[in-house]
Amino acid sequence: MQLVFFSILTLLLELSNLGNTIKVSYLDGVKAPVIFVPGDGGSQVEARLNKTDVPHYICSKYTKDFFSIWLNLELLVPLVIDCWVDNMKLIYDNETRTTSNSPGVETRIPYFGDSFPVEWLDPTKASAGAYFKDIGDALTALGYERNVSLRGAPYDFRKAPNENAEYFVNLKYLVEETYLINGKKPVVLLAHSMGAPMCLHFLQMMKQSWKDTYISAFITLAGAWGGSAKAVKVYAVGDDLGVYVLREKTLREMQITSPSLAWLLPSALFWKPNETLVITDSKNYSLSNLKDFFDEIDYSVAWEMRKDVEKYSLDFTAPGVEVHCLHGYGVSTVDKLAYKKGKFPDGYPTFIFGDGDGTVNARSLEGCLHWQSQQKQKVYHQKFPDIDHMAVLRDQRIVSYIIKVLDKL
């Protein structure tokens, strides 16, 4: 959120305990440079403060320099988390249809172009902050050079495409620069989770002649092509990031202010208009009456954000490049929310689960299959049993698949 954001701590902590060693065959030189495009929560964020109001006396009002705010595990502890929420949340302007940081908060996404801020979400390289790190290590073992043939394209994952116009301009320049400094070798875009539809929108913007010149292939890991029902759960009750000492209700205050969450709601291309997402004793909610759901949970701003970003989820034009679509399946994934009598909207729901990778529903993960008859370039699809949304970044079979693709380009 990726929804990656809403479960990333638990999943990243799992990474630190595995100690995987990925074994791959040696490539005879770098055949195609790679750019990592992260998902929701997959970019480092830095902040600088000059605030007049804070939620607690322990919260800083002023910092001279920028500091790491995501991923910074020291900020994600009880009490201090309230400071973090206040610094990370966004404020929506109904007139400009855009968001901004809380007053007195300045943020930036550091190290654009370098793979470091997407290989490691924690700049101290604490093991829990590993993200694209295993894939990066596998590629450098084959001769890839960080910041030359292995690049990174981080962005403000709180925002959707409508507020990331500058990012897409910078991504175009990064692709062209990477192409040139690697002897005019076309680039592979390697995206995870929300990074996949971000790249799709980027490729839809580009002329076919540009893509034919600069893009060799588009590899996606757990692409959230049609959003996820888990986004509805986040709006309803929040998500504790997998850290049980943190309160979902507290984190929800920040999470629901992100336009990217509205973008990751189930797409009308993948869910039927009247397909139930939330069950209550008096009324069920689906895409057809989503506005009513937001009104009931007392966050009508979400409906405005949804109107701003829905066009991006409804444009599923084929990317016009070779696609390799990889993801897991067979992991219980939130499909619906069900409230007991009299418990909506203030009570806690039970969850009805379906197939997916634990974060994204199967129908959304398989969205890339729609392009097989819509473009002349090949669309390859492979799914892996019992691999969750973050495990795609470390599973040896998937990394080996990536290496084989690069070897053939």
pLDDT for residue 245: 57
pLDDT for residue 140: 96
pLDDT for residue 29: 65
Q: Could you give phi then psi for residue 277, rounded to 5 degrees? A: -110, -35
- Tracing tokens 């790491």 back to the chain, one arrives at 68
pLDDT for residue 77: 87
pLDDT for residue 8: 44
What whole-number distance in Å separates Cα of residue 97 and Cα of residue 113? 29
Name the CATH superfamily, with its identifier, for domain 4-19+33-408.
Alpha/Beta hydrolase fold, catalytic domain (3.40.50.1820)
pLDDT for residue 128: 80
How far are the Cα atoms of 17, 91, 139, 404 from residue 145, in angstroms, in the given order? 27, 40, 8, 18
What whole-number distance in Å separates Cα of residue 321 and Cα of residue 282? 47
The DSSP code sequence of 234-275 is HHHH---TT-TTS-HHHHHHHHTT-HHHHHTSPPTTTS-TT-
Q: Are 198 and 224 in contact (CB under 8 A)?
A: no
Within its chain, how far is the Cα of 376 from the centroid? Answer: 28
pLDDT for residue 14: 41
Asked whether the CA dihedral 227, 233, 238, 243 is positive or negative, the reply is negative
Residues facing residue 120 across a β-bridge:
130
Residues found in the chain: 409
What whole-number distance in Å separates Cα of residue 177 and Cα of residue 179? 5
pLDDT < 50: residue spans in the chain: 1-28
Q: What is the pTM of this model?
A: 0.93
Catalytic residue numbers read 193, 357, 389
Q: Where are the domains of the chain?
A: 4-19+33-408
- Contacts (Cβ under 8 Å, ≥6 apart) of 209: none
